[in-house]
Structure 1
């Protein structure tokens, strides 16, 4: 049991669901899902190809131009680093968030859309078999050697804890057996009901945020790789441990 827990319930009758759509093979399941009136689809990198009715396409600056949306309606928006870096900075910055687009897009959505649910699909960050992505073989960006990605599980614990503090539930719609996300599994049909927010230790959450603030690894322009020499891997590992402990892992 976690001491000093806080939890809330997201009332789905008043919800805005942000569907964070990645490129894992099971993301293709979303093709046939009806889009709810109070749902915004946030596609990451190539995931805009899955559905024509995406609302936001989020990609890093080094994402090749030829892979970016070649068509969009007036209502659809492209989200690059000039937009998502300031949003991530509101929550401590990309170093603490984890520099992979699944988390980057989640914090942007949390800031810009104020959702009551962050629902992930195709973002398990597990790469097995010949087809690692819905379009075939892709680059496993989240498992590259990177000081901000020492523990993908810890980064997911951080996101769902901070989301809960914003009265937003994080869930995983994946049907895959394995996932690096710690979010509870939910069927997409269950998004019409009340979803509990993450139970977390308020005390350990405060300690994690305090240690982040003390370390001072907020890089305003998001170019954290230019500051590697100033980062202490042991400090980041301790922050990760606190976030995991905060959710009872």
Structure 2
């Protein structure tokens, strides 16, 4: 849990909320969003708020699940926009080929947030007969058999580093008992009191010199493996990707994890 150091300051933080479809995503309806600059809804999550700012979805998101109309202030983000931005952060193979990470990297590059919040993005699917998503049962996309998703925690750790190097703090609003995201938890009350001093104090822990050196070693491994496909369609190149290479890289990101 994030511990606050100071009282809020006048200068507001650019806070972006990345909203997924886990069951607790419905909590967004009761949250005070007045300090949230932008809401990025992933796939079906646009149903939870009428005033979302961005809807991001993959190419195969069914037409019947997309909004039939939108406000002038709302933008739909597709592969035409997010592939180029994802490539700026090393591409999909290293970032992890599922929309929670794709949305986060797009937001990081396009919206340049100071704080990136996550709700409904825990990527935990219990086989307990309960609904897997806020709308009922759905596909557990992050758990599919995909060479880029061998460790969701490692991919979250990598995202944490790239965000911090852009002076962006990643926080998890989830109240679920477990999460594949490795970011600190924050509740609505603490979020409302988050100051720029708090923001900088937490970032310093991630961007300390020894942490950066370790992260650079991870990135060197990525460059050496060279699994970079500018189209974003890495699944068309699976015969060129060694899963053991990615497992080794994941292990390094896990070792770096804050």
TM-score by length of 2: 0.89
Preserved CA contact (<8 Å) 1:199 1:247? no
Task: Kindly tell me the number of residue pairs found equivalent between the two proteins.
Answer: 238
Preserved CA contact (<8 Å) 1:15 1:117? yes
Structure 1 match to 2:190: 190
Structure 1 match to 2:3: none
Distance 1:22 1:217 in 2: 28
List runs of 5+ in structure 2 lacking aligned partners.
1-8
Give deviations 1:22-81, integer Å, cap 9, x for gaps.
000000000122222552000000000000110000000001011112221011000111
Structure 2 match to 1:5: none
Distance 2:48 2:222 in 1: 37
TM-score by length of 1: 0.92
Over 3 Å counting, the alpha-carbon distance change for 1:175 and 1:68 in structure 2 is same
Distance 1:80 1:189 in 2: 33
Distance 1:134 1:204 in 2: 38
- The answer to whether residue 238 in structure 2 is matched with residue 228 in structure 1 is yes
Distance 1:131 1:36 in 2: 30
| Paired residue secondary structure (2:137) | coil
Preserved CA contact (<8 Å) 1:171 1:185? yes
> 1:14 offset after TM fit, Å?
3.5
- The answer to whether residue 34 in structure 2 is matched with residue 36 in structure 1 is yes
Distance 1:237 1:107 in 2: 21
Give deviations 1:146-195, integer Å, cap 9, x for gaps.
00001000000000111001100001000000111111110123223133
